Structure 1
């Protein structure tokens, strides 16, 4: 069975429209955060792009539709990247300016070719623009908060495939031209439509999972839901959100904040050498012990999958070194009583607002880095870092 370009383009448009409508309905119902709204923008841009291409296929003289469609297609990929940037809590200003500039360049390059530009007016900027934002998106999905979610592996693969395909498409277009047998077989509009259908379906699935997690944490504008495990340890996003509030209040009150990082870096090696049961037992006991021996009103949460963090406010008489040492010794003591083959090194690191300010993320990062060094070297100084 052979499908013509119009049929495939219409099929791609249908898939994009249905996906966009479903995603937008969820966005409205969930009162979505910034990442979800940006991803919604991606599907809207994709829908608009598909409609532009259909208009051009039906009315070949309307060459403007190709230019606008190309810009919207690049914007769709760019909005996926911006959503990932927002999910990681990074500034969007520079990224948004870059996206706008590239989209404008893509549209102008197609318009400059005029009616004589035909099917491939402004093709090279269009190809490279998509490849650029696909690469940036793939990189962004492997860093920060979004990179710690297993479901983002699918989005990374999707964007990587798009990047490789558009780079390859550019190379073949320049080397052989759009009329070559290789280009028509592997990189023409029909193949692009099929690839778009596949990637859109996969992207909607992944971003829906990510958005659901982000929305659950954020809740409605008036309500924030916090998530804890059975031991009362806050999950990473909940810990970060709560610590940010505590740091803001402490700064206004003129109080200090201390974050103690606790890490066992060789837990994976324990799993390999002595079996996953020992590693799982250590991980469970670590969480219980840290929660048990932390100061009563302290926040206890995840730094990542293998590290924990304890945060509390401090005053002039608070002996932070003594608190850190007591926590370390108590945790090690509990771990040593387990019926396991080996007791891993527990590293502790300390960071305070006097050195790093009231940036909650910086405090957690510095404490975790110090704990990682202590776990790797076995040297526990309990000094503020």
Structure 2
């Protein structure tokens, strides 16, 4: 069975319209956050491009329709990228400017070539822009928060296929022309329609899964996603965000917030001298010991590869020197019990909201700086530690 261009374009348009309607209904019902709204805009752009191309097929002289269709087609890919950028919480100003410039360029290129170029007016800018945004989208789905969602791999594959196909389409178009047998067989309108249908359906499924997770975790712009590793330790950004909230609550309750920084900076030297396995054993024991001996309701967060932070509220009269001395002794005892070739030097530092400021990340940095100094000099907050 051989399908003509109009039939294939109508089939592709139907798939795009149905997918977009379903996605938009979900968007309205979930009261989606910015990533979901941007992805919904991508599907709306796809609908607009499909309608514009149908107008061009039905009325060949209306070449302005193909210019608008080209711009909308590129916008569909660009908004998938923008949604991924928003999902990762990165600034959108520069990506939006890049998108706007590209869209204007694609539309103007088609208008300049006009009716003399026929169906392929502005084809090269269209192909290149789609390839560009597909590459950017594939890269963005492999970084940040979206990369931690297994379903994002599907979106990476979709954008990767689109990038490769449009890049090859550009090369063949320039080298052999749109009427060549190779172009018509592998990169013509019929192949494009089938590819569009497959990719749109796949993109709807993947972005719907991502959008559901994103809405549940970060749908309210006033909320933040907290990330905890397998051992129950908060990652640095999450730890700092929680601290800022706890500082305000402790202040309102007439309490102070204490942040203890703990470091074992000589793990790298241990790895060099005695092997990475021994250093890894020490690192695991260090993390487990900090979690075990920290106050029950304390938060434990990552500072960096060799440092942790512990935060908790305390009454104003708390003896912090005694508290950190006991914690330091227990940590050193646990590391000594490992029976390794050497016991790493543990440095400990204390930062108080009443003395060091009421910003969470600042408190972490100050406690860590004091712990680093203690690890290098041996001068702990409670005095010099016994060797």
Aligned equivalents of 2:195, 2:346: Cα separation in 1: 48
User: Is the 2:248–2:358 Cα contact (8 Å) retained in structure 1?
Assistant: no
Q: Secondary structure at the match of 2:118?
A: helix
Q: Secondary structure at the match of 2:216?
A: helix
Gaps of 5+ in 2: 269-275, 339-343, 381-387
Q: Secondary structure at the match of 2:311?
A: strand
Q: Which residue of 1 aligns with 2:72?
A: 72
Query: CA offset at residue 293 of structure 1?
Result: 2.8
1:131 aligns with 2:160: no
* Distance change (3 Å), C-alpha of 1:107 and 1:359: farther
Aligned equivalents of 1:90, 1:80: Cα separation in 2: 14
Q: Which residue of 1 aligns with 2:37?
A: 37
* Distance change (3 Å), C-alpha of 1:125 and 1:296: same
1:312 aligns with 2:319: no
Aligned equivalents of 1:383, 1:177: Cα separation in 2: 75
Provide Cα deviations, 1:125-183, integer angstroms capped at 9, x if missing partner. 11111111111111111112222222222211111111111111111111111111111
User: Is the 1:243–1:311 Cα contact (8 Å) retained in structure 2?
Assistant: no
Considering only CA atoms, is the larger Rg found in Structure 1 or Structure 2? 2
Query: CA offset at residue 232 of structure 1?
Result: 6.3
Aligned equivalents of 1:124, 1:112: Cα separation in 2: 13
* Distance change (3 Å), C-alpha of 1:294 and 1:118: farther
* Distance change (3 Å), C-alpha of 1:73 and 1:227: same
Q: Secondary structure at the match of 2:179?
A: coil
User: Is the 1:324–1:348 Cα contact (8 Å) retained in structure 2?
Assistant: no
Query: CA offset at residue 242 of structure 1?
Result: 3.4
Query: CA offset at residue 355 of structure 1?
Result: 10
Gaps of 5+ in 1: 267-272, 339-344, 375-379
Aligned equivalents of 2:26, 2:50: Cα separation in 1: 22
Aligned equivalents of 2:4, 2:145: Cα separation in 1: 43
Written as runs of structure 1 = structure 2, the 5 A alignment for 1:204-283 is 204-220=204-220, 242-243=242-243, 245-246=245-246, 258=259
Q: Which residue of 1 aligns with 2:3?
A: 3
* Distance change (3 Å), C-alpha of 1:311 and 1:99: farther
Aligned equivalents of 1:201, 1:366: Cα separation in 2: 51
Task: Tell me how many residue pairs correspond in the alignment.
Answer: 363
Aligned equivalents of 2:337, 2:245: Cα separation in 1: 37
Q: Which residue of 1 aligns with 2:88?
A: 88
Aligned equivalents of 2:113, 2:72: Cα separation in 1: 18
Q: Secondary structure at the match of 1:2?
A: coil
Written as runs of structure 1 = structure 2, the 5 A alignment for 1:1-385 is 1-220=1-220, 242-243=242-243, 245-246=245-246, 258=259, 290-300=290-300, 310=309, 312=311, 358=359, 360=361
Provide Cα deviations, 1:327-378, integer angstroms capped at 9, x if missing partner. 688679779989xxxxxx9999989899999585x9989999xx9xx9xxxx
Aligned equivalents of 1:143, 1:367: Cα separation in 2: 30
Aligned equivalents of 2:366, 2:192: Cα separation in 1: 46
Aligned equivalents of 1:366, 1:168: Cα separation in 2: 53
User: Is the 2:134–2:159 Cα contact (8 Å) retained in structure 1?
Assistant: yes
TM-score where L is the length of structure 2? 0.72
